[in-house]
Copies of this chain bind each other. A is one copy, B any other.
Amino acid sequence: MEPVRLGLVGIGKIARDQHFPAIAGNDRLNLVATASRHGRLDGVDGYHDIAEMVSATALDAVSLCTPPDGRYEQALIAIEAGVHVMLEKPPAVTLSHVEALVAAARKAGVSLFATWHSREAAGVAPARAWLADKRIDAVRIDWKEDIRRWHPGQEWILGPGGFGVFDPGINALSIATEILPRELFVESASMDVPEGRASPLAASILMRCGSAEVRAEFDFLQTGPQTWSIEVDTDAGTLRLTQGGSVIQLPGEAEQTAPDEEYARLYDRFADLVAERAIDVDLRPLRLVADAFLIADRRVTEAFAF
C-alpha cells in the first residue's frame, strides 16, 4: 500500500516537538505539505493556509495542530475535499462543532480521528486492563501545573473558549474515561475565575462512577513539583498513575514506565483509520468539561497576569 500523503496544519511548538518526529518515524505516512501562517518545515512544501494547501497538493489526509478555535472551519475544508482528518485535542471549541464534523465526515466517507494524546501514555492501557474486573471504590485526580511555565503568555487559554485549567485537565478526563469500567457523571463543580478573565485558573469537580466518588482537583498555579496523577481505590488495592499517565504502580508492585510513544501511537492509529475510512471520535472528555461548566458554581478571584 502506498504511504498516506499527509499535510500538517499549524507549525508551532507541538508540531515540531511531537507531530513531525512521529510522522517521520512512520513509514505508512509521507509528509508532503504544511500550512501555517508563521512556520515551515525544511524540505516540505509550505502553504499559507489549509484551503491553499488542499487545492494545490494531492493529499490523502491532514493533521490539525492549530489552536482549537478555528479548527472546525479548517477540518470542514479538508473533509469537503474528500481528505481524511486527524485533530489535536480538544477536537473543537464546542460540542456542536464536533458533532457537525462527524456528520460531515460520514457524508464524505472520510476518516475523522479526534485524538486524546494522554490516552497513549505508557501506563494507560495497563491501567485499563487491570481495572476492568475491579470494584471501583474511589478515585482521586490531581492535575496541578504552573500556567506560567507551560503556557507562558498564552492569554487565549484564560479567554472565552480557552477552557482555562481544563485545557490540561481534559487530559486527565480523557484518561479517566478510558481506564474506568463505567461512565463518569459530573455531580457538582466549583471554579475559580480570575477577575477580568472568562476561564478558570482552578476547579474542583465531584463526579460519580457507579457508586464511587471521583474527585478531581485542577490547579494552574502549582509552583514547585508538578502533579498529574490519578489514584483509583479498588477492592484489590490502589492503582496509581503518575506523571500524566506515563508511570503506573499497581498495589504491592514497583512503579513501571516505558518510553514516551504517545504521538507515535496516535499516528499509527490514524494510518489504520485512514485504511478503513473509519471515524474515531470519543466526545466524552469534552462533554464532561461542558457538563462541569454548565453546573459549576464560580468564584471570582484576584486578577491574574502572566
A residues in contact (CB < 8 Å) with B: 72, 93-97, 99-100, 160-161, 163, 183-186, 188-189, 193, 198, 284, 287-291, 293-298, 300
Contact = CB atoms under 8 A, between A and B. Distances in A.
Nearest to A284: B96
A291 B95 contact: yes
> Taking each of A72, A160, A184, which has the highest tally of chain B beta carbons within 10 Å of its own beta carbon?
A160
A144 to B, nearest CB: 22
Contact of A290 (B93, B184, B294, B298): B294
B95 A193 contact: no
Contact of A193 (B93, B160, B198, B298): B298
A291 B96 contact: yes
B185 A100 contact: yes
Contacts of A160: 188-189, 295-297
11 contacts: A94-B185, A96-B185, A100-B185, A160-B295, A160-B297, A198-B297, A287-B290, A289-B294, A290-B294, A293-B294, A298-B298
Contacts of A96: 183-186, 284, 287-288, 291
A55 to B, nearest CB: 21
A291 to B, nearest CB: 4
Contacts of A198: 295-298
A161 B295 contact: yes
Contacts of A291: 94-96, 290
A281 to B, nearest CB: 14
A20 B156 CA distance: 51
Given A160-B188, A198-B295, 16 more contacts: A93-B295, A94-B291, A94-B294, A95-B95, A95-B291, A95-B294, A96-B183, A96-B185, A160-B297, A193-B298, A198-B297, A198-B298, A289-B294, A290-B290, A290-B293, A298-B298
A99 B287 contact: yes
A176 to B, nearest CB: 12
Contacts of A189: 160
A162 to B, nearest CB: 9
